With several copies, the nearest count.
Chain A
Amino acid sequence: MQTFPIQKIIEHGPGVKSFYFPKTFDVRAGQFVNLWLPGVDEKPFSVSAVMGDWIEISVKRYGPFTTALMECREGDYLGLRGPFGRGFTLQNNALLIGGGIGIAPLRLLAQELNVRGLRFVSLLGAATAYEIIFARDFQKQSVCYFTTDDGSMGKKGLVTDDLVDIIAKEKIEYIYAAGPEIMFVKTKELIDPLGLPYEFCMERYMKCGIGICGQCVLDDSGLRLCVEGPVLNRDDLKEVTELGLLHRDASGRRV
């Protein structure tokens, strides 16, 4: 375990922040790191951008860990290890579907697609405007569609509402999605009939992050989300029977 000081913090709005750490390894969009808050816990977070010598991690407050994280100040030392897992492959004419803090890994993906000159369209939804983090950056790089639960930005409603129309209109050939599990289920229902290939960046409770504890293994494939994921493609997901169903908690029970 290595520890690093927080270089900078950006607050997007109440309970949504980006943290910057020294970059000590190469990382690809979709890969994640484990953040250790001494005395609190250790949890996985996607790298949301690489900016020169820094990496960016973007966090939304949910429970005890992210609440403690919100209280951290610049200069505080946090444990950071990784990068773990496999990232996204890079494809042309893709649609990036992000829900809530799931937008984080898509931000780095957008950077990478952009550098390679690959065309993409962004479809980002959240509860409210400020949760669509770095919306302006997405707008600079791509055609964007926004949705919010409260209508404070883009269309009022769910990110999946106009999905099929956008795919047709924008001549989309590939789908990337990151967000809450229910969004994957919806997305899958809508795009499977279209026969489009896709990659989902998923989340599960994790312990080791290095493929040995078995905590993040998906029924029925036996795939370890921390090693063979967190980005799974259509073929991987064919064997995953637990999508949108029960997950395992720290004890390994389905909850």
Chain B
Amino acid sequence: MKTIHLIKPDFLNLKMDSPLVLASGILGLTASSMARVIRFGAGAVTSKSFNLEWRKGHRNPSIIPFEHGLLNAVGLSNPGVDEMVKEIRLFRQKSEAPIFASIFGRTIEEFAEVAKRAAEARPHLIEVNVSCPNVRSEFGTPFGDSPQDTAQITRLVKKAAGDIPVSVKLGPHGPGIGLMARVCEENGADAITAINTAGPGMLIDIRVRKPVLSNKTGGISGPAILPIAVKSVYEVYENVRIPIIATGGVTHWQDAVQMLLAGATLIGVGTAVYYEGMEVFGKINKGIEGYMRENGFSALKELRGLAHE
């Protein structure tokens, strides 16, 4: 991927050639996989969310397409912190692009512990997933629905992470994403990732007469949720000054530009890989660059939040 000067973001002093970040849970299990995503034009990658011990997650079907997006209830399957620390280290050897370590915990304390262990691998950012909707039956309401829990997790992770910056990943529902972002900022977060999957939703097969996902319900991603994500980013931008990793439904470059205008500094891309292939990163980069040239912008930050004026 040739470096395109125009679209270099200004995010926490990290060196990136594109504002696009591979979203957590997509192709983020191994160093090899994430390094390949960089070769296709992503500016940074986010690992699959991991916690202390490995987890099998939910049985299949755990990821199913419907006409307008994907439903997934992977159930936070992951190989555990030991394995992921190795993969993050390996990635850092393979690639100069930043890697964000996505972490979660079953308890508030586990978040801090995982953050501490993850920090050993020196990721460029720790992303704190407080908003997975797919482990409700196991863990209860996501921590991200509670301002108190989120505040505490942010504080503890921030401390455990040392000098590594921390982004908190919020869901679109719950008690107002603007409020939650403020809580994170006040408790030391360096960035906000918005959003996780929406819904959740369910699809029932009318022949078999059963929910298709083994977990019955699953989070919704992809084109269907773009308006929810744009609205969330717009709202977060109005509430905090820390940068936003805008994620949710971005499939075409026009969607990415909407996110920038709503207030994004970086843009997460996940499900679009299904719709547009690995080439999606290069295509969106090119589209943003074309838009900037056509409209006389010379840096990404000139676009940021323009829709608020």
Chain A residues near B (Cβ < 8 Å): 1, 3, 34, 36, 38-43, 77, 79, 207-208, 210-215, 217-224, 248-254
Contacts and interface: CB of A to CB of B under 8 A. Distances in A.
A155 to B, nearest CB: 39
Interface in B82-115: 83
Contacts of B270: 212
Contact of B26 (A40, A214, A218): A214
B89 to A, nearest CB: 14
A217 B214 CA distance: 23
Contact of A207 (B39, B63, B78, B271): B63
B80 A43 contact: no
Contacts of B207: 3, 77
B268 interface: no
Q: What are the nearest 10 A-B pairs in CB distance?
A: A222-B36, A42-B60, A217-B33, A252-B79, A208-B63, A253-B79, A214-B27, A251-B54, A214-B29, A222-B32
A212 B274 contact: yes
Contacts of B48: 214, 252
B83 A252 contact: yes
Contacts of B28: 214
**Most chain-B Cβ atoms within 10 A of its Cβ — which of A208, A220, A223, A224?**
A208
B74 interface: yes
A41 B60 contact: yes
A36 B63 contact: no
B8 to A, nearest CB: 24
B78 A213 contact: no
Contacts of B278: 211
B57 A251 contact: yes
Contacts of A217: 27, 29-30, 32-33, 36
Given A251-B77, A252-B77, 16 more contacts: A1-B203, A1-B205, A38-B208, A41-B59, A77-B207, A207-B62, A213-B29, A217-B32, A219-B30, A220-B32, A221-B36, A224-B27, A249-B56, A250-B77, A251-B55, A252-B30
Chief secondary structure at chain B's binding surface: loop
A212 B210 contact: no
Contact of A36 (B39, B57, B61): B61
B213 to A, nearest CB: 9
B7 interface: no
Interface string B21-56: 000011111101111110100000000100000111
A254 B82 CA distance: 12
B54 A252 contact: yes
How many B residues touch the partner, as a band? 35 or more
Given A213-B25, A213-B26, A1 B212 contact: yes
A239 to B, nearest CB: 9
24 contacts: A1-B61, A3-B208, A36-B212, A38-B205, A39-B210, A41-B59, A43-B60, A79-B212, A211-B277, A213-B27, A214-B26, A214-B33, A214-B48, A217-B29, A219-B30, A219-B32, A222-B33, A250-B57, A251-B54, A251-B77, A252-B30, A252-B77, A253-B79, A253-B83
Contacts of A213: 25-27, 29, 63, 74
A40 B83 CA distance: 29
Nearest to A209: B63
Nearest to B84: A252
A210 B274 contact: yes
A42 B211 CA distance: 13
Contacts of B74: 207, 213
B38 to A, nearest CB: 10
B224 interface: no
Given A1-B64, A214-B28, A249-B56, A254 B212 contact: no
B227 to A, nearest CB: 12
B235 to A, nearest CB: 20
B63 A210 contact: yes
Contacts of B277: 211
B33 A212 contact: no
B258 to A, nearest CB: 12
A28 to B, nearest CB: 18
A79 B56 contact: no
A95 B20 CA distance: 45
B205 A212 contact: no
Nearest to B273: A212
A220 B62 CA distance: 26
**Most chain-A Cβ atoms within 10 A of its Cβ — which of B30, B63, B214, B278?**
B30
A224 B29 CA distance: 12
Contacts of A40: 59
Contacts of B274: 210-212
